[in-house]
Amino acid sequence: MRIPLLQGNVSDWNSTASPLPAVLTRDLADSLFQTSAGAVGREFLDYYSGGLRYRVSAVCALQKTDDYARYGPFVLTPFPGWFYEDQYLPFISLRIRPEADTDNFAARFYQDMTSQLQVAPFYLFDIQSYKDQKIERDAAEGITPYIRSARLIVIFFVFNVFIGLMGTFWFRTRHRRSEIALRMAMGSSRGRIRWQLLGEGLLLLALASIPALTICINMVMADVTFTEATDATWGRFVICVSIVWILMALMVIAGIWYPASRAMEVQPAEALHDE
């Protein structure tokens, strides 16, 4: 939770002669000290400001700036003095227990702690959760519109494939009424006919998946896929292909099950007479 404060003045951290604490990711520590195991306690200079010295207080894993960015090297350091001088509303951050993080926590905290936090030259001005800040930041940086557009595109293509694939097998099954009636007249059970039709549909899907899978593999090997957010690994490829194949199999089943059930409700003599 972030709490903005109004204040009179702030000290300049650039004027201190002692090194400031810093937290590095493992790969960044390796590039600076050729090891991450003994990096804690060692010092390094700021690349952009040679007068600033930092002492490594901890080494952490790779970090990322938002939910959709890549993990990368990071260094966490205190803000310099000019940041607080130019800041209109300085703030402090508080971490609370998960069970205390309720919807009305900010209102209760503001009501209970306003008088206790009015210590000159500071006083409590506002309370804002990091969840709300994340929503505002994602919207300002275009992440939210991008995710919405991507979801709409995925839904559009899935709906079109659903209508096309299910409609094809629906039309194909309805035009096999006479065949279904003949099989029933010859003594085949409804369950056997239904599973035979489903097996044919899934077999056609499997045969059509072979050239499609070949094209997809060549696209991944040619590096023409979108790899800015994540790497095009073979594990991710297998997971995505499996999910797509399962969704298409469900569409095939939906396009066969219902029209086949309706066709088997018609008496065999009536269906053969219509033909």
User: What does the pLDDT look like over 220-234, one tens digit per residue?
Assistant: 888 777 777 677 788
* Per-residue pLDDT, 11: 41
The DSSP code for 63 is B
Residue pair 181/268 in contact by the 8 Å Cβ criterion: yes
Place of tokens 């199999």: 249
**CA atoms lying within 13 Å on the CB side of residue 214:** 5
**Mean predicted confidence (pLDDT) in 160-176:** 86
Segment 14-27 shows an average pLDDT of 76
Q: Specify the 3-state DSSP secondary structure of 58.
A: strand
State the alpha helices, DSSP H only, in 16-72: 26-33
Mean residue pLDDT across the chain: 80
Mean pLDDT along residues 214-220:
89
Read off the DSSP letter of residue 46: -
Joined tokens for residue 194: 């239904």
Sheet holding 53-60, edge to edge: 43-45, 53-60, 20-25, 75-76
* Exposed e or buried b per residue across 49-73, where buried means at least 16 C-beta atoms within 10 angstroms of its C-beta: eeebbbebeebeeeeeeeeeeeeee
Task: Report pLDDT for 213.
Answer: 92
* Strand arrangement, sheet containing 123-124: 91-93, 2-6, 123-124
Other C-beta atoms lying within 10 Å of the C-beta of residue 129: 15
DSSP annotation of 23 reads E
Whether the model pTM is above 0.75: no
**pLDDT tens readout for residues 43-88:** 888 777 767 788 898 998 888 877 777 888 888 888 766 666 666 6
User: Helices marked H in 3-94 — which ranges?
Assistant: 26-33, 81-86
Please state, in angstroms and rounded to a whole number, the distance separating the CA atoms of residues 78 and 94. Answer: 16
